Chains A and B, each alone.
Chain A
Amino acid sequence: MGEIKVARKKGWKELPEGDYLEPGSAAVFETGDWRSERPVWIPENCIQCLFCWVYCPDSSVKVKDSLMTGFDYKHCKGCGICVTECPGKKGNKAIKMEAEKK
């Protein structure tokens, strides 16, 4: 679950010296399969307020040129906060949760 395929873990002679990590290296670790439900964007209801983006704990709302463009399903854990926070248009939310097909 979630594990990325590492061909072989390095031995102590090959590993970089010490408890040192490259920045942002967690991006390759996929947490998307933690989800039981996924957020689905409904662009026609979106007012581009970016509340979903600012409240997502997992940096999983994709934004380009300051516009919401969808979700990063590799990392989204399906918490549903974006749905709760989405004001949508005229009371119609621009995000809904759908069950993951298992």
Chain B
Amino acid sequence: MSDKKNLKAKTGNEAMAEAMRQINPDVVAAYPITPATEIVQIFSQFVADGLVATEFVAVESEHSALSACIGASAAGARAMTGTSSQGLALMYEMMYIAAGLRLPIVMAEVNRALSAPINIHGDQSDTMCARDSGFLQIYCENSQEAYDSMIQAVRICEHPEVLLPATVSTDGFIISHCLEAIEMLKDEQVKEFVGTYKPKHWLLDVDHPFTLGAIDLQDYYFEHKRQEIEAMRKATKVVKEIGQEFGRKFGRSYDMLETYKLEDAEAAIVVLGSTAGTVKVVIDEMRKQGKKVGLLKLRVFRPFPFEDIREALKNIKIVGVMDRHDGYNAYVPPVCSEVRSCLYELDKRPKIASYVYGLGGRDITLEMITGIYNELLSGKISAEVKYSGVRE
């Protein structure tokens, strides 16, 4: 690690675009959408200025963006894209295909609410709908994490035991458009860290032709899906390894999840993305008042780190899980549902409360989080999902 910190003021979108410049992928195919548009714009400028060797394909839709990346990746290229919300929704079909064909495409994704009503602000309904697409899902608390995670994602996805695509997500506007000081790596450091993409089979290797994307009927589909499931399972180990290697080399380690003052906490919040930062501020404040509160920030939602979660929460009395997406009368929304299921295995289980917050970019304030902690600490919780911040 260099002693001199290379600090730069960057928005989330700039940070992701910079990471892409340093990764210097072979192909980028993308289509603009608020609030991810800048990533594509900034990257196009890098192409125009000759700062990358990338073949940039300015496609006519997000569906084609991911389709082109899938073609490029199958052809043997390192391919990347970026999108948000409706754009991601238009990609859903192709997301399952990218994963099923085992193509390690990294996508810079900015979380934004899904229509209707149309809304351009941040919530996580877009990626939550793709949680079973076979993409790894990394949620970032801030621009620094977004930058670091983009670089790690390339290695994670291309790992021979994984070979799956990933979304690296930031919360729309909250991270994507906010300036933050981030520590950037040197171009050579990134280049060396990501290495080159060496697929086993690639379409442009015309001396070794093969067929990719055949129809699998009831006699083979399940086996291929089982392989994909296994790859996702193995990804947990790989995320940790790459996160540690990143830490050894550059001083910032990453794991599947991060805990904050959780060890002795009586009440904990589980949350993804930028809200984790707000929660930390509240924890510091409440701790000063002697209230034992803590945080479990889920960085990676796919693969789901159930063992780590169980380990981290086993001694907590009461846990509030915050979802920025609703399950429309599901018993609880997805993050809560999965956290709750994995804790079921414990003999002594924490009590669980479910909160849906921030839909369509609705502010989540320090007061609201304090309120949630106080409610948890009081022990007076019900099984019903609570909607934080909605006007009655």
Contact = CB atoms under 8 A, between A and B. Distances in A.
Are A and B in direct contact (Cβ within 8 Å)? Answer: yes
Interface of A: 9-12, 15, 17-23, 25
Contacts of A12: 222-224, 226-227, 230
In this complex, the interface size class of chain B, counting residues with CB under 8 Å from chain A, is 20 to 34
A98 B219 CA distance: 36
A18 B210 contact: no
A15 B211 contact: no
22 contacts: A9-B220, A10-B223, A11-B223, A12-B226, A12-B227, A15-B223, A15-B224, A15-B227, A17-B102, A17-B163, A17-B227, A18-B102, A18-B163, A18-B227, A19-B101, A19-B212, A19-B224, A20-B210, A21-B211, A21-B214, A22-B210, A25-B211
Contacts of B201: 20
A20 B227 contact: no
Contacts of B210: 20-23
Given A11-B223, A12-B224, A17-B163, A23 B102 contact: no
Chain B interface, DSSP helix/strand/loop, else mixed:
loop
A13 B271 CA distance: 36
Contacts of A19: 100-101, 212-214, 216, 224
A12 B229 CA distance: 11
A21 B224 CA distance: 12
B117 interface: no
Query: Which of A20, A21, A23 is most buried by chain B, counting CB atoms within 10 A of its CB?
Result: A20
B290 interface: no
Query: Which of A9, A10, A15, A17 is most buried by chain B, counting CB atoms within 10 A of its CB?
Result: A17
A42 B2 CA distance: 82
B209 interface: yes
B207 to A, nearest CB: 11
A41 B219 CA distance: 39
Given A21-B212, A21-B214, 13 more contacts: A9-B219, A9-B220, A10-B223, A12-B222, A12-B226, A15-B223, A15-B227, A17-B102, A22-B210, A22-B211, A23-B209, A23-B210, A23-B211
Interface in B200-245: 201, 209-214, 216, 219-220, 222-224, 226-227, 230
A28 to B, nearest CB: 14
Contacts of B222: 12
Contact of A18 (B209, B219, B224): B224
Return the 6 tightest CB-CB contacts between A and B, nearest first.
Answer: A21-B211, A12-B223, A12-B226, A18-B102, A23-B209, A12-B227
